Amino acid sequence: MNNQTFSLQPFASSASLTNLKIAGNINRNINQLSICYTLTGNLKEIAIPPPSNTPSRKHQLWEGTCFEFFLGIKNSQKYWEFNLSPAGHWNVYCFDGYRQGMQEETALTILPFHVYIQANKLVLTLKMDLDKIILPEQIIEVAITTVIKYIDDGVTYWALTHRGAQPDFHLRDSFIVEL
């Protein structure tokens, strides 16, 4: 088992930064992946969509508050983008290379994640089997990210590291967790 904790950093921007913190842990046990995000701070300032009675696969979740992670196979250009909305909606995209060949990953038909919201804390947990997209012996490189949309329409971009002049979660040199 490979278990790592993380703390995300906001990209320098003009959006007002409240007293938010995004931390969590990720682990891989053979080909079972689990990730847990914990967002703490004044959640009243954040545009958090209400839970959906019918969560489903949706596009452009990154336009609102969205928890994301990117998985790449070590020594390969191919990678996947996972989008998880606090409302329960989700999507997974596969790329052939940096922002190239984007398509929905049809091998995954559900993402089993849960969201718990308290006064000043949101916890999102996902446990999934990677067998449909990655072999157990393949080493993966991960970028962990979050988009926070504020009620006043401001947006901040959070990641383990920001390697570009603009926030860009697709930059492969920011896939810094190895599992």
Assign 19 a pLDDT band (cuts: 50, 70, 90).
confident
Reported as a single tens digit per residue, the pLDDT across 28-64 is 999 999 999 999 999 999 999 999 999 999 999 999 9
Beta strands in 14-170 (DSSP E): 21-29, 32-40, 66-73, 79-84, 90-95, 103-104, 113-118, 121-129, 140-149, 155-159
How far is 72 from 130, CA to CA, in rounded Å? 12
55-94: pLDDT as tens digits: 999 999 999 999 999 999 999 999 999 999 999 999 999 9
Q: What is the pLDDT of residue 16?
A: 55
Question: Is the pTM of the predicted complex or chain greater than 0.75?
Answer: yes
Which residue segments constitute the domains of the chain, with CATH numbers given?
2-12+24-178 (2.60.40.1190)
| Other CB atoms within 10 Å distance of the CB of residue 78 | 15
Backbone angles phi, psi at 51, to 5 degrees: -60, 140
- The residue-averaged pLDDT of 110-131 equals 96
C-alpha to C-alpha distance for 132 and 137, rounded to whole angstroms:
13
User: Which three-class secondary structure state does DSSP give residue 13?
Assistant: coil
